[in-house]
Structure 1
Amino acid sequence: MSKFMAAPNANANSTSNPNPNNSFEVVQPPNDSISSLSFSPKSNILVATSWDNQVRCWEIQQSGTNLVSQPQAAISHDHPVLCSTWKEDGTTVFSGGCDKQVKMWPLGGQPVTVAVHDASIKEIAWIPEMSLLVTGSLDKTMKYWDVRQPNPVHTQQLPERCYALSVRYPLMVVGTADRNLIVFNLQNPQTEFKRILSPLKYQTRCVAAFPDQQGFLVGSIEGRVGVHHLDEKQNDKNFTFKCHREGTRIYSVNSLNFHPVHHTLTTAGSDGSFTFWDKDSKQRLKEMSRCNQPIPCSTFNNDGSIFAYAVCYDWGKGAEKHNPATAKNYIFLHVPQEAEVKRKPRVNTGGKR
């Protein structure tokens, strides 16, 4: 167990403030909880999926030192939408969810169904190097799709329901129920490369492949993140750390994102906070003030100059704790400062590294 060296903590809990960090607010947010956020790989166009069955799109523009959001378009699914991803050219959005299908939406055009499962689709990713879409479902399968064809190119059986998925070609990591972590080398996509039991004792909530494809992060419902390297010669670099805790209260880690330039990372959790970390120097760079609701999802834009995060109910306490009449849903945009996201030299404490 490793403890990160702490940076100054700005985490005074604002029990009634949805935006204690003075982030820029996205206008016309979803009417129900937000399940995923995805930026275009080519521009500052943001897509959000939500439990109100909608996929919404905004253009984010810089106006002086402000960020301004312009609603662009939206499409509907038949049931709540859980996940989203983009084609690499920034023209097309994919979305999947509880209607057991993925819709391909050419921006400005009409959506078409390009993938189906026998249960809700929890995760999707577009793999540009293969020109394939990969879908992970609660039906315990993962499927690869050539979106020009009606049937999957390949169906991969999973040991349990798919909860999380991350691709950094040729590495793909899939987290399922029962703490299974399945690693694929996408140069041989129909065969598991490695299967391991999560280093964390509780249910997997999110995974993120390293930018250098040498390993991955895994976050759990128990306020903890595991840092795992694939090469067994680097086992001494594997560690876990605690986060998103307040005294004896422990919160889920809902989202893990690597900064696209500096390769530092963020965690976002059900405690309503997001934190910047440097895994290589084992330092917490900056912990932001807590919002008054959970953060279920987050993402960076393509150059790391904007960090988008949702603040809303995350269903962690069940439907009985959710009142749609009074629930508020927010999407905020944070402009990371260099000190928050740039790596710091390792501090030698004289102890074991």
Structure 2
Amino acid sequence: MTDTELVSPPQDGISSVVFSPTSNLLLVASWDKTCRLYDVDSNTLKFTFSHDAPVLDCAFLDDTTAFGAGIDKQLHKYDLTTGKSSVVGSHSEAIKCVECSIKHGVVITGSWDKTIKLWNLESLECVGEYAQPDKVYTMALADDRVIVGMAGRHVWVWNLNNMSAVEQRRESSVKFQTRCIRAMPDAQGYVLASIEGRVAVDYLDPSESSQKRKFAFKCHRSKENGRDVIYPVNAVAFHPTFGTFATGGCDGLVNVWDGVNRKRVYQFHEYPTSIASLSFNHDGSLLAIAASYTYEEGDKPHPPDAIFIRRITEENVKPKPRS
């Protein structure tokens, strides 16, 4: 099976790819100081939104409005019908993560300034600023909850229905730096990926019985010349129907995992360079794969940055029956 490569890719590292929650529009944030909007069905670049510095994350509200942010410390609002953008507000350091909650009427930003902020979707005013113990590296929305992954292996869980105090203070189940957290489609838990070729499956219910279900496993590792080579796991994406999840690593591989039965479902062919970001579309029929060198081995010649769209079959993502 072949992948489709998107036209007019970013000219520098890809930091995030995100599908619309309702269509096959795709946002791509990049170190080339742009966020690009693609129509994947027609393989066309619709708009390019410019920033003054690299863009680290982006999020759809719907098919008319989206948000992006990055090193310029500013939250930008994109009009996806006109291609125009405006600045909503800012943090004192780079903004690493953006999430939109239509249910709670807010945009959530997480920053290297060790805060998260909530912005009202109608007034676009900051309606809350909340201190975190360290730099925010990754965030995930799980219905009413925001899961914040930080430096120092901190994982804090906030409840958008009551932001007066943090709901849970956790520590990563793996020993090394957190790269990515993504919430399960049923909002019962999350998957955390780390730089040390390891992934943790965690549950939000603090009860002992629920916490017994959590586990971590090794992945994106290989044997080369008789020694173990460990690759950072940069990306996680859940399939919306089957609840399996894909991981992307610096080995250029995408694996699909069944977290319930604790086994790998599928491995795609090797991509030209590191997998920087992954996103399934709304019905799980497509997977956007950002093949983009993440400088884990320093500055060196590398393949050009590319976005591949893979058409997904049930064989790729459906859990296999227990043998």
Shorter-normalised TM-score: what interval?
over 0.9
Q: Matched residue pairs, number?
A: 316
1:282, 1:346 within 8 Å by CA — same for their partners in 2? no
Q: State the Cα distance separating 1:343 from its structure 2 match.
A: 2.0
Partner AA of 2:309 in structure 1: L
Matched, 1:345 2:321: yes
Structure 1 distance, partners of 2:153, 2:127, is: 27
Residue of structure 1 in register with 2:116 after alignment: 142
Residue of structure 2 in register with 1:153 after alignment: 127
Q: Secondary structure at the match of 1:234?
A: helix
Q: Secondary structure at the match of 2:89?
A: strand
TM-score, structure 1 as length reference: 0.86
Aligned with 1:131 (options 81, 101, 105): 105
Q: State the Cα distance separating 1:24 from its structure 2 match.
A: 0.8
Residue of structure 1 in register with 2:77 after alignment: 104
Structure 1 distance, partners of 2:165, 2:174, is: 25
Q: 21-30 or 51-60, which moves further after superposition?
A: 21-30
Q: State the Cα distance separating 1:147 from its structure 2 match.
A: 4.1
Residue of structure 2 in register with 1:185 after alignment: 159
Q: State the Cα distance separating 1:210 from its structure 2 match.
A: 1.6
Q: State the Cα distance separating 1:228 from its structure 2 match.
A: 1.0
Q: Secondary structure at the match of 1:153?
A: strand
Residues 218-237 of structure 1 correspond to what in structure 2 (within 5 A)? 218-231=192-205, 232=207, 233-237=209-213
Q: State the Cα distance separating 1:266 from its structure 2 match.
A: 0.5
Residue of structure 2 in register with 1:18 after alignment: none
Q: State the Cα distance separating 1:327 from its structure 2 match.
A: 4.8
Residues 79-94 of structure 1 correspond to what in structure 2 (within 5 A)? 79-87=53-61, 89-94=62-67
Residue of structure 2 in register with 1:44 after alignment: 24
Q: Secondary structure at the match of 2:16?
A: strand
Residue of structure 1 in register with 2:232 after alignment: 252
Q: State the Cα distance separating 1:128 from its structure 2 match.
A: 0.8
Residue of structure 2 in register with 1:95 after alignment: 68
Aligned with 1:59 (options 39, 43, 61): 39
Q: Following TM superposition, where does structure 1 have runs of at least 4 consecutive aligned residues deviating by more than 4 angstroms?
A: none
Structure 2 distance, partners of 1:346, 1:159, is: 42
Structure 2 distance, partners of 1:150, 1:198, is: 33
Aligned with 1:264 (options 238, 241, 244): 244
Q: State the Cα distance separating 1:196 from its structure 2 match.
A: 1.1
Matched, 1:298 2:278: yes
1:142, 1:155 within 8 Å by CA — same for their partners in 2? yes
Aligned with 2:91 (options 98, 103, 117): 117
- From the superposition, tell whether residues 137 and 24 of structure 1 become closer, same or farther in structure 2 (CA, over 3 Å): same
Partner AA of 2:89 in structure 1: A
Q: Whose strand proportion is higher, 1 or 2?
A: 2
Matched, 1:316 2:290: no
Aligned with 1:240 (options 205, 209, 216): 216
Partner AA of 1:96 in structure 2: A
Partner AA of 2:18 in structure 1: S
Q: Deviations over 1:23-62 (max 9, x none)?
A: 111011111111111111121111111011011111122x
Aligned with 2:308 (options 332, 344, 352): 332
Structure 1 distance, partners of 2:233, 2:74, is: 27
1:40, 1:46 within 8 Å by CA — same for their partners in 2? yes
Q: 120-129 or 21-30, which moves further after superposition?
A: 21-30
Partner AA of 1:97 in structure 2: G
Structure 1 distance, partners of 2:50, 2:101, is: 24
Q: Secondary structure at the match of 1:192?
A: coil
Structure 1 distance, partners of 2:43, 2:142, is: 29
Partner AA of 1:144 in structure 2: L
Q: State the Cα distance separating 1:96 from its structure 2 match.
A: 0.4
1:280, 1:346 within 8 Å by CA — same for their partners in 2? no
2:64, 2:81 within 8 Å by CA — same for their partners in 1? no
Q: State the Cα distance separating 1:22 from its structure 2 match.
A: 2.8
Q: State the Cα distance separating 1:235 from its structure 2 match.
A: 2.1
- From the superposition, tell whether residues 126 and 190 of structure 1 become closer, same or farther in structure 2 (CA, over 3 Å): farther
Task: Return 5+ residue gaps in structure 1 as ranges.
Answer: 1-20, 62-67, 348-353
Structure 2 distance, partners of 1:147, 1:114, is: 10
Structure 2 distance, partners of 1:217, 1:122, is: 18
Structure 2 distance, partners of 1:36, 1:327, is: 18
Identity rate of aligned residues, in percent? 37
